[in-house]
Amino acid sequence: MHVQNVHLSDDHDFTKTAATEIRLVAGLGVDGDSHSGARVQHRSRVAADPDQPNLRQVHLIHSELFTDLAAAGFRVEPGDLGENITTAGIDLLSLPTGATLTIGAEAIVAITGLRNPCAQIDNFQSGLLSQVLKRRDDGTVERLAGVMSVVIRSGTIAPGDPIAVGLPPEPHHRLDRV
């Protein structure tokens, strides 16, 4: 389990630019990223309530998603879907709420929930939303566009850094959209 790529953007662009390293700042997010802050930074959420806490400080996507999307005919590269950290070898979507990821030597993030993909994904590539937001036969919705987290301990991270998972006390709660 390791970091494959890291990304940031100082503007509210859909995609983020690859970086050689990023600095995670406790309680805020990725230093220099437009979504960094103690209060919500996502435009639609700011419009609804600018005082709500930012549970979406750091966005992580598992690189295995890109392989699945390629098999479905889509070309999606790390950073294209706006994630800050692309991981390899970790099933992010199966982690419970409150799971922690120690990334590199210092940084720790706590998983807050699933990214709720929106129609902007279809603006990036037509039909992509239906690949990352699926309705199961039983009517439940499956969100595949990664997880959101908050920074618990600051640290600088880079591609190749190891990731260690810490589970919260039982009972574990499945991730929901944030």
pLDDT, tens digit only, all 178 positions of the chain: 999 999 999 887 788 999 999 999 999 999 998 888 887 766 666 566 667 888 889 999 999 999 999 999 999 999 999 999 999 999 999 999 999 999 999 999 999 999 988 778 888 889 989 999 888 888 888 899 999 999 999 999 999 999 999 999 999 999 999 8
> 161: which 2 tokens?
């850094």
pLDDT at 37: 81
How far is 112 from 95, CA to CA, in rounded Å? 10
> How high does pLDDT run on average in the chain?
91
The pTM (predicted TM-score) of the whole model is 0.91
How far is 77 from 59, CA to CA, in rounded Å? 15
Domain spanning 2-116+144-166: CATH superfamily: PK beta-barrel domain-like (2.40.33.20)
pLDDT at 168: 96
Residue type for position 127: G
pLDDT at 44: 65
How far is 117 from 146, CA to CA, in rounded Å? 9
